[in-house]
Amino acid sequence: MTQVSELIGTPFGGLEYAAAGHGDPFLMIHGTGGGFDQGLRFGQAVMAQGFNIIAPSRFGYLRSDYPSDPSPARQADALAALLDHLGIERLPVAGGSAGALSAAQFALRHPDRCSALILLVPAMNLTGEDPVEFTPLQRLVVNQLLTSDVWFWLLSRATPDQLIGSLLATDPRLLRTVSQAERERARLILHEIMPVSARTRGMLNDGHYAGSPADIDLNAITTPTLIVSAEDDRFGTAGTARIIAARIAVARLIIYPTGGHIWLGRNDELADEIAAFVRGEGV
């Protein structure tokens, strides 16, 4: 997906974003390994439903700065500054994976600007234990991958299925059961992590906040919220999604039986659910 991004100044430094599509504005916040490009990728099917997708790069990703306080709460405030720049008063806000933390903080800190909240495969530590446990060897390998363009490029071409299973937390056997368009989407999500070196700081920050106990009062969120996960997500977000749904007063929960962390095979179905939820602004 070739898209030109823009860079604006905020109280937290430079913030990169891109926009695509026509219709009502919709803020799509990317997950770990992303940037504005992944946000547009996640929002592509929603865009086809008649929305203008606004996709920022979070702190430490691509051209966005890394402030002294790179917390999800500060990221939410930076996103409010982006809306000020764009002249947008209120819109639906979606966050995928580690981006769900910033999306939830936005709904909590700027409720008058968030018409609907969508949390996709939310990577939040709500139990005091990191749901993703690595052995020391696995952590060494992952850290090497996430700090080296060369190693990532080599392994993404030599063993793409293994990276889909580990970094994208999705059973690669699902690739044989889904459409060509969905197989291509998985390949592009993996490919668009490159260049890793332009995303390393953001990914390490995500690892810290997604693995640490989440500092957020979900019970205080009053925005109508859609929470989505898959039972076979290897990052364990189905359990997290259930906890979130129990804590937010106005919530709709969707747990797909399969699809992994990138909801493989569910993209069009999910876009239908999101569009219906947003347009109804309720459960």
Give the mean pLDDT per block of 10 residues along the chain (283 residues): 85 97 97 95 96 98 97 98 98 97 98 98 89 59 73 86 89 96 95 92 91 92 98 94 96 98 97 95 54
Query: 266 lies in a domain?
Result: yes
Query: 125 lies in a domain?
Result: yes
Query: 169 lies in a domain?
Result: yes
Query: 205 lies in a domain?
Result: yes
Q: Which pTM value belongs to this model?
A: 0.94
pLDDT in tens, 151-206: 888 888 888 998 898 889 999 999 999 999 999 999 999 999 999 999 999 999 99
Query: 45 lies in a domain?
Result: yes
Query: 37 lies in a domain?
Result: yes
Instruction: Output the pLDDT for position 273.
Output: 97
Question: What CATH number did the domain enclosing 21 receive?
Answer: 3.40.50.1820
Tally of domains within the chain: 1
pLDDT in tens, 140-153: 656 666 778 888 88
Query: 1 lies in a domain?
Result: no
Residue 43 is part of which domain span? Answer: 6-280
Q: Quote the CA–CA distance of 193 and 264 in Å, as a whole number.
A: 17
